[in-house]
Amino acid sequence: MTDLRHILSTTWRHGLRSLRVAAAVAVVAVLASCGAEKHVKKGDAFYAIGEYYDAAAEYKKAYARTAIKEKEKRGERAWKMAEAYRRMNYTAKAAGAYQNAIRYHYPDTTAILYLAQAQQKMGDYKNAIKNYEAFLATTPRHTLATIGLRGSQLATEWKQRPTTYTIKKEPLLNSRRADFSPMLYGDDHDQLFISSTRPQATGDEISGITGTKAGDIFVTKKDDKGKWGQPEKIESELNSHYDEGACAFSPDGKTMYFTRCTHDPDYPRYAEIFTSQRTDASWGNPQRLEISKDTLSSYAHPAVSPDGLWLYFVSDMPGGIGGLDIWRIALTDHGLGGVENLGKPINTEGNEMFPTFRPNGELYFSSDGHPGMGGLDLFLAKSDSTDHWTVENLQYPMNSSGDDFGMTFEGVYNRGFFSTNRGDARGWDHVMSFERPEVIQTVKGWVYEKDGYELPEGLVYMVGNDGTYLKLGVKADGSFTQEIKPYVDYVFLGTCAGYLNHKEELKVDTSSVSEEYVLQFPLASINNPVLIRNVFYEFDSAELTESSTMALDSLVTLLTDNPNVTIELSSHCDFRGKDEYNMRLSQRRAESVVNYLIEHGIDSARLSPIGYGESRPKVVTRRIAEQNEFLHEGDTLTEAFILALEDEERQEICHALNRRTEFKVLRTTYGLFELKPTEKAKIDVEATKETTTEKAKGEATTEATKGEATKEATTEKAKGEGTTEATKGEATKEAATKGEGTKEAD
């Protein structure tokens, strides 16, 4: 009995335990199902406002709490998780989630396409080709699948035949987070702006999109040895607790354009373009750039054309070709112009992003809609004279199976930096440097005041016999660098408000080696006297020496290039010698120079020679003061000033400065309101015609008058026939008297 009770008791306890387990399983299943649905709803809410990191975390929890036998739900939740991973660039995790969606027979075959794209991004070209072909079997002639298949096939070939680009990691520029979209800045390209989510970024909030801090714009500078320093956050209102990045600059470096992604917990996030003006050494408060009234589209990744006339940007606004397209809008003195889509072949059914320019006008951008190695590939677009674009892939090693984008160039040279997430399992971007050796001809010029300093406000017009016509701004040091083409003849005209123009010509006759041509643009002031260096006279004479020819020929060229200018040509002496003698000598010397100019084709009406003797001593300029430490800007080299100098060598320096030949601009409108010779000749001809006509009329009138006079004379003659002989006698006597007077005068 005891055994029975034991058996019964054991049986009862065992049965009770089984009931408890079954009940527990049922309860857990119900709770898990409820919990999974809750996570799905949360994930959907995050996904709707673009917070893919948080959405993926919720979908992952939902997937884990979904029973294996609920294949349809597991397939759907795997798909949602994959989509969130794809959008936040977690490629490996996205591939795994797509595989699960396919395994559980998720009905949308796009999962196969996205799996193939993920495998291509991971460099698994064999399986990518297999899945592209599987998708094309269900959806023939699908554009993106066809392009992906072709890119996967080409990738292997490109890796076996790398281009001449070399790339290098830049550990100092990178962090343990995302660093991307580098942009060189400065006259010497010695500053590098980088977008980064590194810990030093503003704020403490973790982004629901990326799972990292919001991005900020950082900057690093080269030291005296040409080495880059550690990137530092820009300390201004430029950065905020929002995402900032992907900046670009106007050609003059005074305006920054950048992307900012604001956020709202209840609405999707949209990217916008902001501008910031540089004042002194800092960037000003950012202002939103309103490209369109459309508030439901994104505007990002700005780039300014080399001529400063166009702002290129990326947008998903209506009227595009694919997901994200490259657009442009005119930058005018009166604001923004109309928006234009670059169209095909640049834009595709995929995404085109991160445009940037070389100074020669070449457009670089990234795309996943052209055949490529995977993810975003870098492309080069060139435009011909008809504005037709040709597009080419930069291939390996610039491109990889990952995302490659955001190039920046060191001036005219094919070297600089770009960003890539190749080799990073988390999909975070890093900055690398690149260089491609190439034969390149450039011209470097300096615009400066004659005997003065650089003119940063200068502008150089560049015209080539191949149709080139460019306006080149200069840097703060008055310099510019421009790429030129072989076998082209160029004319450069240096200009600046308040100065005469200066022309230089250049013939490029080689294409086999790299070469830099150097041009100087010394501009003569319109407002101040200009020294003519190296004009020499024979001793105690006004006769010019042969060594003066080069300087005077330069003056002839200057006056020829500025045909509407009249000048006063002045000669000056030192105070040694008598005042009257110095005045006469300086006048003769000024006239000698003017005569030379006239002999070489300059109209005498444009030239006024004046000798000032010693009456106008030299006033020391800043340049002269820098060259002579005993002089100060503004000193006047009078006789008293020079005699007060005890050092004879210094006195002689002052005498030499006083002995000079200068010119001063009197007018800049000569000939503008006067008749040209051809017009004057035409008017003279017309005047001659009029005179001839009037003369003919006058002669006709005279003949008529003569006729009347003859008539009258005949009448009078008839009347006078009755005159007495006595009257005739008196007349004869009077005539005889007059004859005597004439004889006496002789």
Mean pLDDT of 599-621: 96
The reported pLDDT for the residue numbered 660 is 95
* 36: nearest Cα among 66, 79, 57, 60: 66
Q: Determine how many CB atoms are found less than 10 A away from the CB of residue 308.
A: 14
SS3 state at 25: helix
In this predicted structure, the answer to whether residue 442 has a pLDDT above a threshold of 70 is yes
The DSSP code sequence of 452-476 is S-B-TT-EEEEEETTS-EEEEE--T
Q: Determine how many CB atoms are found less than 10 A away from the CB of residue 58.
A: 24
**Could you tell me the two tokens for 660?**
């000079």
Reported pTM: 0.73
What share of the chain has pLDDT > 70, as a percent? 85
Sheet-wide strand order for 377-383: 352-357, 363-367, 377-383, 389-393
Nearby residues of 308 by Cβ (< 8 Å), 6 or more positions away: 250, 251, 252, 331, 473
Alpha-carbon distance 660 to 183, whole Å? Answer: 50
Alpha-carbon distance 547 to 82, whole Å? Answer: 83
The reported pLDDT for the residue numbered 696 is 53
Mean pLDDT of 462-467: 94
Greatest Cα pair distance in the chain: 210
Per-residue pLDDT band at 686 (split at 50, 70, 90): low
Angle at 37 between CA 32 and CA 40, to 5 degrees: 125
Dihedral (C-alpha) 275, 476, 407, 325: value to the nearest 10 degrees? 40
The reported pLDDT for the residue numbered 387 is 80
In this predicted structure, the answer to whether residue 590 has a pLDDT above a threshold of 70 is yes
Alpha-carbon distance 609 to 398, whole Å? Answer: 66
Q: Which residues pair with 462 in a beta bridge?
A: 470, 492
Alpha-carbon distance 485 to 482, whole Å? Answer: 10
| Cis bond upstream, residue 345 (ω within 30) | yes
| Residue 173 near residue 416 (C-beta atoms within 8 A) | no
Mean pLDDT of 243-264: 92
Q: Which residue would you say has higher pLDDT here, 258 or 2?
A: 258
User: Pairing state of beta strands 607-613 and 566-572?
Assistant: parallel
Alpha-carbon distance 627 to 653, whole Å? Answer: 11
Alpha-carbon distance 100 to 696, whole Å? Answer: 111
In this predicted structure, the answer to whether residue 253 has a pLDDT above a threshold of 60 is yes
| Residue 340 near residue 309 (C-beta atoms within 8 A) | no
In this predicted structure, the answer to whether residue 161 has a pLDDT above a threshold of 60 is yes
Q: Which residues pair with 517 in a beta bridge?
A: 443
The DSSP code sequence of 54-84 is HHHHHHHHHHHTS-TT-HHHHHHHHHHHHHH
Mean pLDDT of 563-577: 95
**Could you tell me the two tokens for 584?**
């006469």
The reported pLDDT for the residue numbered 18 is 37
The reported pLDDT for the residue numbered 673 is 74
CATH, range 12-160:
1.25.40.10
In this predicted structure, the answer to whether residue 210 has a pLDDT above a threshold of 80 is no
Q: What is the DSSP letter of 245?
A: E
Q: Domain 442-523 sits in which CATH superfamily?
A: Carboxypeptidase-like, regulatory domain (2.60.40.1120)
Q: Which residue would you say has higher pLDDT here, 510 or 167?
A: 167
Phi/psi of residue 379, nearest 5 degrees = -130, 155
Structure-token match 């830099």, residue found = 516
Per-residue pLDDT band at 695 (split at 50, 70, 90): low
In this predicted structure, the answer to whether residue 26 has a pLDDT above a threshold of 60 is no
Buried b (16+ CB within 10 A) or exposed e, 158-194: bbeeeeebebeebeebbbebbbbbbbbbebebebbbb
The reported pLDDT for the residue numbered 698 is 54
Per-residue pLDDT band at 263 (split at 50, 70, 90): confident
Q: Determine which helix (DSSP H) or strand (DSSP E) holds 369, and give its type and residue range.
A: none
Q: Domain 557-667 sits in which CATH superfamily?
A: OmpA-like domain (3.30.1330.60)
Per-residue pLDDT band at 34 (split at 50, 70, 90): low
* 570: nearest Cα among 613, 603, 609, 620: 609
Alpha-carbon distance 196 to 63, whole Å? Answer: 32
Q: What is the DSSP letter of 744?
A: H
Q: Which residue would you say has higher pLDDT here, 305 or 711?
A: 305
SS3 state at 171: helix
Per-residue pLDDT band at 6 (split at 50, 70, 90): very low
Inter-helix orientation angle 52-64/2-48, to 10°: 160
Buried b (16+ CB within 10 A) or exposed e, 509-522: eeeeeebebebebb
Phi/psi of residue 68, nearest 5 degrees = -60, -35
Alpha-carbon distance 245 to 177, whole Å? Answer: 14
The reported pLDDT for the residue numbered 741 is 36
Alpha-carbon distance 480 to 471, whole Å? Answer: 11
Buried b (16+ CB within 10 A) or exposed e, 103-135: ebebeeebbbbbbbbbbbbbbbbebbbbbbebb
Domain extent listing, the chain: 12-160, 175-435, 442-523, 557-667
pLDDT tens, position by position, 117-152: 999 999 999 999 999 999 999 999 999 999 999 999
As to burial, measured by CB atoms within 10 angstroms (0-12 exposed, 13-18 middle, 19+ buried), residue 364 is buried
Q: Which residue would you say has higher pLDDT here, 147 or 34?
A: 147
Phi/psi of residue 14, nearest 5 degrees = -65, -45
* 307: nearest Cα among 445, 457, 462: 462
As to burial, measured by CB atoms within 10 angstroms (0-12 exposed, 13-18 middle, 19+ buried), residue 708 is exposed
pLDDT tens, position by position, 697-718: 555 444 444 455 444 444 444 4
Alpha-carbon distance 348 to 152, whole Å? Answer: 18
| HSE-up of residue 216 (Cα within 13 Å, Cβ side) | 22
Taking the alpha carbons at both ends of the chain, their separation in whole angstroms is 196
| Residue 247 near residue 354 (C-beta atoms within 8 A) | no
CATH topology of domain 175-435: Neuraminidase (2.120.10)
Phi/psi of residue 293, nearest 5 degrees = -75, -10
Nearby residues of 229 by Cβ (< 8 Å), 6 or more positions away: 172, 220, 221, 222, 223
Alpha-carbon distance 442 to 87, whole Å? Answer: 43
In this predicted structure, the answer to whether residue 400 has a pLDDT above a threshold of 60 is yes
Please state, rounded to an integer, the average pLDDT across all residues of the chain: 86
Alpha-carbon distance 573 to 585, whole Å? Answer: 8
In this predicted structure, the answer to whether residue 17 has a pLDDT above a threshold of 90 is no
